[in-house]
A and B are shown apart, each in its own frame.
Chain A
Amino acid sequence: MTEAVAPATRAARPSAALRAARFWTSLPLSGRVGLALVVFWVAAAIFGPFLAPHEVGAIVAPDVFEGSSAAHLLGSDYLGRDVLSRVLSGARYTVGLALAAAVLASTIGTALALTAAVSGRWVDEALSRLMDAMISIPSKVLALVMVAAFGSSIPLLLLIAAATYVPGAYRIGRSLAVNLNEMDYVQAARARGEGRFYLARVEVLPNMINPMLADFGLRFVFVVLLLSGLSFLGLGVQPPNADLGSLVRENTSGLGDGALAVLMPALAIATLTIGVNLLIDALPLRARRVQGEP
């Protein structure tokens, strides 16, 4: 019977464009704003450097902390560089690093959660104790200790941000996986002698992927806030590279004049993270978990 039904549903599956359109119309207004912001910043990160009107490091304006003009839409920074070009390039660092770190954190967290769920009690107990301890270290404190110990080159920052948010992803993933593990169909698969890896991959993982994706979005926001916070303190991305946090830091002297150079990168971070948050909040309930601590 199932064989007869399966091809029919596949044929009835709408095209990608149609599904995208349906997804768009299913979102409330706040979700659409969020999605638009996310798409905008991802596009800026991918295409930004090609669209940038000036070279990132080049000093092109006659004066520092200029206001908006036709030549420099967002004015100039503390050295007379073009702010728009720098924000576009900074967005690439911020979005790229955070995306990579969040993917890493969610993947490792999910993998460990699955391991804990399908392995014996001892593995679960040991992993959970360790992760609980790591969660008890406030994320910024943990990241600072790691930065002090290892340094803050870009690959290291990526690993540090990922390591900081693995425990959170693990905790969510484990609670999902442990519940799924008790389901009848998983028990049935276990009874027919399937291996642990098969159970984790085929029976448990597909059913926890949606909440984990929503959690991934939150991790992304946390990583953006963490990394830009570190850069703002001067402990994150180091010059000559600059993410959005570094841009705020290097231009703080323009704050007294209300310079665009300091406000724009800060606003860029805020619109990015707010966008992701609004989007996740608007997702259908089943795809989302209760939002807890950061």
Chain B
Amino acid sequence: MALTLALILRRLGAAVLTLLLVSLVVFTISSLLPGDAAQETLGQSATPEAVAALREQLGLNQPAPERYVRWLGGLVTGDPGRSMANDLPVRELIEARLPKSLLLAGLTAAVSVPLALAIGILSAMFRGSLLDRGLNVATLSMVAVPEFLVATIAVLIFAVKLRWLPSLTLIPEEATLGEMLRAYALPVMTLSFVIVAQMARMTRAAVIDQLSQPYVEMAVLKGVGPIRVALTHALPNAVGPIVNAVALSLSYLLGGAIIVETIFNYPGVASLMVDAVTSRDMPLLQACAMVFCSAYLLLVLIADVVAILANPRLRRR
């Protein structure tokens, strides 16, 4: 047990180190062109003195390493600066949006994970069959479809033609469960579309990998039925890779959310980030990017830990 704990702590340490590197990459890219921020805020007609004063105020005249350390310190203590577009604390802006994004992600996960696991396990159990080949082509195609096509067609069918669902996700303050479900149906459907396909493919690969192991052959030879082999022999051993697949697919959700939140006008962190790009609001953009990267690393870390807990052999390495 102590060994497991040490291993998990080591993974945690590695994740924190990666996050530090990520922050360095994000900071470096977004501040390669120093001084621009002040010039841009004030516009072309600003006097050089005004630009210099704003630079001073924003701390842009300090050397880059110093600014990085200060920015990083701000991130850690929960104060990533002020938004340049509307002069509000970045923290406030993100705090207002984050729960909404998490709700959308949570709903999407709740829909897509069971569906994907079912498809993946089914096609692994009947691999090579017509069902498997059909699902293969279907998921392969679904992976390659851009989110905005799915969203566009979904809006066309469900909002324009059938008039079942609203095309924009407006959540009233006190919504009933039915209203909530209707409001979320389209974005969740769009996000799930690509993720289900990806997760199902990786799940299938993980289960098939186990089904080709000698112990499965042994089980088959001693007369265990195909469903039992898949569910009680192969599946427990495939938990690690499957959790990994789920984490990777859910992290894809982070990217998909950028398109989907914008299309449906959903007030989440991703649409906040797109606004930050449009208005070149660097402090806000950097903070949003770090939120996404932390979420990604957290998902990968959770998958790692679950894999360690699920597979005793991984603990002795």
Contacts and interface: CB of A to CB of B under 8 A. Distances in A.
B248 A269 contact: no
A203 to B, nearest CB: 30
B147 interface: yes
Contacts of A193: none
Interface string A269-294: 11001101110010000000011111
B239 interface: no
B144 A274 contact: yes
Interface of B: 18-19, 21-22, 24-26, 29-33, 136-137, 140-141, 143-149, 152-153, 155-156, 160-161, 198, 201-202, 205, 248-249, 251-252, 254-255, 258-259, 262, 273-274, 276-278, 280, 282, 285-286, 288-289, 292-293, 296-297, 300
Interface in A125-146: 129-130, 132-134, 136-142, 144-146
A242 interface: no
Given A30-B137, A266-B149, A269-B149, A141 B160 contact: no
Top 6 nearest A-B pairs (CB, nearest first) are A133-B21, A273-B144, A140-B255, A266-B149, A293-B248, A148-B277
Contact of B141 (A129, A140, A142, A277): A277
A141 B258 contact: yes
Given A30-B137, A255-B152, A147 B277 contact: yes
A279 B31 CA distance: 41
Contacts of B19: 136
Given A144-B277, A248-B152, A255-B156, A136 B146 contact: no
A79 interface: no
Contact of A270 (B144, B254, B274, B278): B144
A213 interface: no
A138 B29 contact: no
Contact of A277 (B26, B32, B144, B296): B144
Contacts of B248: 292-293
B251 A293 contact: yes
Interface string A209-236: 0000000000001000100110011110
Contacts of B286: 145
A278 B137 contact: yes
B22 A136 contact: yes
A248 B147 CA distance: 12
A17 interface: no
Nearest to B32: A149
Contacts of B160: 255-256, 258
A267 interface: yes
A293 B252 contact: yes
A267 B141 CA distance: 12
A23 to B, nearest CB: 20
A233 B149 contact: no
B146 to A, nearest CB: 5
A19 to B, nearest CB: 26
A266 B156 contact: no
Most B Cβ at <10 Å: residue of A141, A147, A258 = A141
Contacts of A273: 144-146
A235 B279 CA distance: 11
Contacts of B296: 136-138
Contacts of A144: 258, 273-274, 277, 285, 289
A139 to B, nearest CB: 6
Nearest to A139: B255
B138 to A, nearest CB: 11
A130 B156 contact: no
A141 B292 contact: yes
A255 B186 CA distance: 15
A294 B199 CA distance: 12
Given A132-B18, A235-B274, A258 B156 contact: yes
A262 interface: yes
Interface string A106-141: 000000000000000000000001101110111111
A149 B29 contact: yes
A263 interface: yes
A232 B150 CA distance: 13
A256 B18 CA distance: 46
Nearest to A148: B277
Contact of A136 (B18, B136, B285): B18
A148 B282 contact: yes
